[in-house]
Amino acid sequence: MSREQSSMRPQDIVVLLKIASHQDETWQQIPVAKQLGLSQSEMSKSLNRSKYAGLIDETGRKVRKLALMDFIQYGLPYVFPQRPGSIVRGVPTAHSAPPLNKQIKSDEAYVWPYSKGSVRGQSISPLYKTVPEATEHDLALYELLALVDAIRLGSSREKKLAISEMKKRICTP
């Protein structure tokens, strides 16, 4: 795999979280790609990058959950950082979305820009452009991606809560 092809991309995290949200259920590449708004080739390249990085096993079927958690906790905020932008309508994320919105009260809302969104808040670029649509009918993926955003841009307290929640959802059978 060439150096350019081996570099992780934001959609790789979305793919890994989608697979991890299935827990140990079997999944098929084509339906998952469609659900995430990815082409078959994008999905295949994503899985290959994740194999190369050691975040998915050699079969490309099982996420290495502890390695993924380490990457999300220690690497993601540096590799895919985020800063709040202008006020837009969208889908709540980070501390404004479940499950953190039950633990953190804030007058400040963070949202992924989306025309069908129900909340106005500061814009947060999702890890991948199809995230708002991909999470409309997948609560488990939505919550994982909202937790990822809390890790990407939250305060120390928010990050700690988000990491704890992610570990419960990804590492606990």
Counting Cβ atoms within 10 Å, is residue 81 exposed (0-12), middle (13-18) or buried (19+)?
exposed
pLDDT at position 171: 87
Band the pLDDT of 166: cuts 50, 70, 90.
very high
pLDDT band at 22 (very low <50, low <70, confident <90, very high): confident
pLDDT above 90 (res 23): no
Query: What's the rounded Cα separation, in Å, for the pair 14 and 135?
Result: 10
Residue 66 clears pLDDT 70, i.e. is over it: yes
Nearest to 66 by CA among 77, 54, 49, 48: 54
Write down the pLDDT at residue 82.
Answer: 93
pLDDT at 35: 96
**Residue (of 55, 34, 46) closest to 9 by Cα position:** 46
Q: Give the chain's mean pLDDT.
A: 93
CATH no. for 3-79: 1.10.10
The pLDDT-based confidence of 1 (bands split at 50, 70, 90) is low
> What is the mean pLDDT of the segment spanning 90-95?
96
- Domain-by-domain residue ranges, the chain? 3-79, 87-171
Which is nearest to 147 in space by CA: 164, 134, 171? 164
DSSP string, 115-150: TT--EEEEE---SSTTHHHHTTT-HHHHHHHHHHHH
pLDDT given for residue 145 in this prediction: 98
Q: What is the three-class DSSP state of 64?
A: coil
Q: Name the β-bridge partners of 63.
A: 56
